Structure 1
Amino acid sequence: MTNIYYVIIILFASCLHHIRCADNAPRPNIVFLIADDLGYGDIGCYGNTTLRTPNIDKLAQEGAKMTQHLTTASMCTPSRAALMTGRYGIRSGMAPTGTVRVCVFGASTCGLPSSEVTLAEMAKEAGYNTAVIGKWHLGLHEERYGDFKKHPLNQGFDRFYGLPGTNIKDFGDEGERIFLDLRPSLNKQLITLWLCIIVPLAFLFKAKFVSLLVVIIVLLLWSIPLLSVYWIVDNMKLLNSMLYRDRLIVEQPIRLPGLTHRLAQEAVEFMEESVMQGKPFFLYLAWIHTHTYLATAKEFEGKSKHGRYGDAVEELDWGVGRILEALDRLNVENNTLVYFTSDNGGHVEEKGLNGKVDGGYNGILLGGKGHGGVDGGIRVPGIVRWPGHIPKNTITDEPTSLMDFYNIVGVTTGTTQPINITLDGKNILPLLNGSTTISPHEFLFHYCGNEVHAVRYRPRTGSKTYKLVYRMPDYLPGTNRCDFFCGCHSARVLEKPLLLDMTSDPGERSPLPSSYPGYIDIIEAITGAVANHKSSIVPVESQFTARNLIWRPHWQDCCNFPTCSCTDPKYV
């Protein structure tokens, strides 16, 4: 009997030891590397043979590559909001309601509501050092100028170095204007509107039907708003090209050549400081590449086979390599989860003033950035490396989502995920480590703005993934492109939704006939899922109303007024 007691005591002590060891086990660092407008077919491990991306390719060899990795939107702001929250944008008000589908100005109220619980807030709760380096594009102020409620430092991040908005072609010196790409005849329309009131007014004055005072008042009331629109369109660089360190502007306008090097340097310094402090870190590194304006450091100019877009891809890869090298040098490589992806697909319509293509390549996928539910806009590279947890050279063809990394952060940091809110992401670690072979997503809803344009369906048996398409982009005749962007509300409503087998037809060229085995059952399953999903949506205020999007001059930031010009003293 005494021996039995000894055995029980030893087993109990052993259990306590293992529990204590588990509690003291080092928590993994987390590094998110997200590109901007990078095409599905732009990197080597996804089939590109003409661009050099050795560092991203190496990351895929050492971890898992997801071939059916999906964003929730084909535009950056709503896509990044879903990544940050693990929720479809429609739940947080980050689903656009009109033509404009991104936050345009830092001096506006558009952005991720402060009530949302972000990835960084979960990591910070778990004791992580947190930083966002690069593009934010999820707002600054919420109720008044200076409240910084939508600023990264109020969304769970300890440090911010980057752009409050996004990099646009206006930031270059070639005279390009993003609004004129969207509406090429905008200036002519403004002039026409001005003449429509001024010409009749001049005749009325000459005929002495109105006084000079009336002419002046009407002229001012009509001219000021039109001139304001013209001025804003022509001064997006002044209004948005600025670099922040935490809450302070340190550079305006941004020096784009070499910015990738600076972002990498800031990221490396953050990781070094965290390691010295003995604290785990969560790094969200949002590169400016490959969004236009395309500008690289001198050593990358003209080095690729695909002009300045290719140069940007190769500089992006260099930046990824710099981060991986630092992890290795700091001896934390084996305890760091690294995730690489893009916020949406390549922009296939993007061209410079010289007519050369400045947008990405989406391989065999249909469409591109802004195109709604077609895969060219929402299927992106997705790579995860976590040594000892995810086997090398893993490839999964199962549907996964950017939203899933909200759940992964929760699982890896040991943080209790928020209650009383609906999360749409899933824990895909079992899929990546081989514990399961079927995606936890039975359905994924592909939004364009605030409408579902298509639905993905992965039955719980078999190996097929289906997609039911309700609306298609209104492409130019004989093409798979629009003028510059494909509008959500102008997309064609299909008289009969198209059912596609995405496993054998990723290019979405061959809709399945109604005679396809199980056709009716698949349609019914998807239809029921859409109804259930829509019933789960609690209406909230959209962040993309005119009131939230409009530029507020009294909120405009400017360093060294009135010149609005400064250079980051750290990188003079």
Structure 2
Amino acid sequence: MTPVCQVTILLFTLCLRRIWCSNGASRPNIVLMLADDLGYGDIGCYGNTTLRTPNIDKLAQEGAKMTQHLTTASVCTPSRAALLTGRYGIRSGMVPIGIVRVNLFAASTCGLPPSEVTLAELAKQVGYNTAAIGKWHLGLHEERYGDFKTHPLNQGFDRFYGFPGTNMKDFGDEGDRVILDLRPTWYAQLITLWLCVVIPLACMYKAKFASLPFVIAVSLVWSIPFVTVYWTLENFKTLNSMLYRDREIVEQPIRLPGLTHRLVEESVEFMEESAKEEKPFLLYLAWSHTHTFLATAREFEGKSKHGRYGDAVEELDWGVGRILEALDRLNIKNNTLVYFTSDNGGHLEEKGLNGEVDGGCNGILLGGKTHGGVDGGIRVPGIVRWPGHIPKNTITDEPTSLMDFYNMVGMATGATPLKNVTLDGENILPLLNGMTNVSPHEFLFHYCGDEIHAVRCRPKTGFKTYKLVYKMPDYLPGTNQCIFVCGCHSARVLEKPLLFDVTSDPGERSPLPSSYPGYSDIIEAINKAVATHKSSIVPVESQFTARKLIWRPHWQDCCNFPKCSCSDPKYA
């Protein structure tokens, strides 16, 4: 090759690189921060006056605050699936059909189907670096151990540093168990059921109706499932408290104090590398706070007015502040779209061993996490900052959904819209930048499991938002709470659906009378919308069958068998 040709190729390559970097710089970076179980009334810009959240409050001042921002479920796994896909969970099978409503075991086949196109895959189409940091809770393996088909790296993310499931009170060192909150007499029930067979067997032997070898053999066989269940629940922490770097376990169990600092460190490192490469990035940062077990770094312990829950909220705010500071330091704040929200509302029934409140506050809203269609479980903080596109100090009271962020990512990145895929999110940018003052959502469907418990209706005229409630949680008498979680299929079916004006009655305290102007027309429109929506659902396999949810011992990950104990060497 002649020197002239070499120089020509070199110049052409440099021009292409310059064009690519220039195009990359023009596309905004994306930072999606998702809190866990954060209540609607837990942060200052949503009315809290006793917890310090200056960084989240500042984010709201610099962008848009949505006061009627809604998740698709009052529990985490289904709502996270909807956030990442822009679709109701019913379309992907990410809704429970039985009692269990979240993915409990890392060693199970429950997970977000690989056929779903996540917002990370959308961004990858146009050259974005992508990272998932923190809580995943959407599966690891699908067909066999090690296939990683539902792992973040197979769902559009270039890197993953986080935990596959959720943070649970079992992960602490206090001896608390989720099963005891669900069933306080669990151990007594287990022993009683075991004795129901063992005692008759002993009586049969004493009456000489059965031989001793037979009694022993049957007793041992009968004991196997009880021992297995007991051992599994007692070792829940070892089996599920794991921290991954990409596909490798680097810590087991997770050291929860200081975890927020490490999530920040990994996130900032990813942003710095992307900025150095001059490539746009999408960061999905799913905080562990404020899900129990509540553990913070030492500098936050005992510093809030609301015990360890308040400490966790304030450490969460600190983490948000460090991410925003990094954007400033890297001089990319003005070219970064930031979104902060929560996967569901605060868990009102969450208590510690000594009765301390370990759940959040949902303000004036009715109910909380797991409560189905009531707003306390599905209305969450929602803040978007995008300099140059969304004016500062914007507040909208119109209905919006966390599914809408999928559309925003597609629009901001310039990614090709999906074909032959039903998206349920809408373009809310005109609402946030003041081009319109009416939500693009005329109807929003509030699922509990695979059932619609309530529907929101925002007529195209006027300013009111209505909500028709078909089923209500089966609350304990005289309260707005359940024992620990509220069941979907055990909820009360209302003889006559209740219609609320949630614009003036966000707490859903005063149903509208049938004499209300347009009452019948509103209900008729909602029922018609429900029928249309249901007709658009293509049946798919549920990810929450017993077969998919059950723990598979031969799929169990362990960082250093048989101890299953290690610490991330990077943060030793």
TM-score range relative to shorter protein: over 0.9
CA distance in 1, matches of 2:355, 2:219: 39
User: Which residue is 1:418 aligned to?
Assistant: 418
| Counterpart contact for 2:74–2:377, Cα < 8 Å | yes
CA distance in 1, matches of 2:323, 2:540: 39
| Counterpart contact for 2:251–2:568, Cα < 8 Å | yes
CA distance in 2, matches of 1:271, 1:219: 59
The 5 Å alignment of 1:37-186 reads 37-186=37-186
**2:548 partner SS:** helix
| Counterpart contact for 2:24–2:278, Cα < 8 Å | no
For residues 290 and 23 of structure 1, do their structure 2 counterparts lie closer, same or farther at Cα, with a shift above 3 Å needed?
closer
CA distance in 1, matches of 2:419, 2:181: 43
Counterpart of 2:390, as a letter, is I
> Deviation string for 1:241-270 (max 9, x for gaps)?
110000000001110000000000000000
CA distance in 2, matches of 1:105, 1:24: 39
Counterpart of 2:123, as a letter, is A
**2:26 partner SS:** coil
CA distance in 2, matches of 1:353, 1:231: 21
Mapped pair 1:498 → 2:488: no
CA distance in 2, matches of 1:321, 1:24: 26
TM-score by length of 1: 0.96
**1:470 partner SS:** strand
Counterpart of 1:313, as a letter, is V
For residues 319 and 95 of structure 1, do their structure 2 counterparts lie closer, same or farther at Cα, with a shift above 3 Å needed?
same
Alpha-carbon offset, residue 149 of structure 1: 0.1
User: Which residue is 2:567 aligned to?
Assistant: 567
> Deviation string for 1:305-362 (max 9, x for gaps)?
0000000000000000000000000000000000000000000110000101000000
| Counterpart contact for 2:136–2:152, Cα < 8 Å | yes
Alpha-carbon offset, residue 230 of structure 1: 1.1
The 5 Å alignment of 1:324-473 reads 324-473=324-473
Counterpart of 2:238, as a letter, is L
CA distance in 1, matches of 2:42, 2:403: 22
CA distance in 2, matches of 1:151, 1:254: 19
TM-score by length of 2: 0.96
CA distance in 1, matches of 2:174, 2:91: 40
**1:537 partner SS:** coil
User: Which residue is 2:271 aligned to?
Assistant: 271
**1:127 partner SS:** coil
User: Which residue is 2:285 aligned to?
Assistant: 285
For residues 127 and 20 of structure 1, do their structure 2 counterparts lie closer, same or farther at Cα, with a shift above 3 Å needed?
closer
User: Which residue is 2:36 aligned to?
Assistant: 36
Alpha-carbon offset, residue 126 of structure 1: 1.2
> Deviation string for 1:353-375 (max 9, x for gaps)?
01010000000000000000000
For residues 516 and 115 of structure 1, do their structure 2 counterparts lie closer, same or farther at Cα, with a shift above 3 Å needed?
same
> Deviation string for 1:468-496 (max 9, x for gaps)?
00000011111111111111111100000
Counterpart of 1:484, as a letter, is F
Gaps of 5+ in 1: 1-18
> Deviation string for 1:391-420 (max 9, x for gaps)?
000000000000001111110111112211
Mapped pair 1:540 → 2:508: no
Alpha-carbon offset, residue 207 of structure 1: 2.0
User: Which residue is 1:245 aligned to?
Assistant: 245
Q: Percent identity?
A: 82
* Larger mean Cα displacement after TM superposition, 390-399 or 202-211: 202-211
| Counterpart contact for 2:370–2:486, Cα < 8 Å | yes
CA distance in 1, matches of 2:149, 2:356: 40
Counterpart of 2:218, as a letter, is V
Cα RMSD (Å): 1.3
CA distance in 2, matches of 1:466, 1:362: 20
CA distance in 2, matches of 1:183, 1:273: 48
User: Which residue is 2:14 aligned to?
Assistant: none
For residues 263 and 173 of structure 1, do their structure 2 counterparts lie closer, same or farther at Cα, with a shift above 3 Å needed?
same
User: Which residue is 2:295 aligned to?
Assistant: 295
Alpha-carbon offset, residue 24 of structure 1: 7.1
